[in-house]
C-alpha cells in the first residue's frame, strides 16, 4: 500500500470520463435524474497535510440535461437556476 504522501499533487477533472449528475424527487413519487454536460475543475491533495487539500469546480448552469426539454427549460428559468443571472456556479472546498 502506498503512503498518503504519494497522493500529493493536483488533478484536473476529465469531463470525458466524469459524470456530474443528480437525482431529485418529483411529487414525492418519481425520481428525476439529470446531469450537467459542461463543467471543469481540479483537486489538490496534500499528503503531508490533508487539511490543506482543496477542490474547485465550475459548472455551466445552462448545460443541465434531464432528457426532457420542457423540464430543462424550466430548470434554466428564473424559477430555478436563473441561468441568465447565474450562468456559472463555482464551488470551492477545503
The 8-class DSSP code of residue 27 comes to T
Q: What is the pTM of this model?
A: 0.84
The CA distance from 13 to 58, in Å, is: 11
Does the pLDDT value for residue 28 go beyond 90? no
Burial of 59 (0-12, 13-18, 19+ CB in 10 A): buried
pLDDT, position 7:
82
Residue 23 has pLDDT above 70, yes or no: yes
The Cα–Cα gap between 38 and 61 comes to: 8
Amino acid at each position: 500500500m502506498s503512503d498518503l504522501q504519494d497522493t500529493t499533487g493536483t488533478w484536473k477533472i476529465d469531463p470525458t470520463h466524469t459524470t456530474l449528475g443528480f437525482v431529485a424527487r418529483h411529487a414525492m413519487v418519481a425520481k428525476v435524474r439529470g446531469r450537467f454536460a459542461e463543467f471543469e475543475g481540479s483537486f489538490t491533495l496534500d499528503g503531508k497535510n490533508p487539511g490543506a487539500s482543496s477542490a474547485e469546480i465550475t459548472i455551466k448552469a445552462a448545460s443541465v440535461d434531464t432528457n426532457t426539454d420542457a423540464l430543462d427549460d424550466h430548470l434554466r428559468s428564473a424559477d430555478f437556476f436563473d441561468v441568465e443571472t447565474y450562468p456559472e456556479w463555482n464551488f470551492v472546498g477545503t
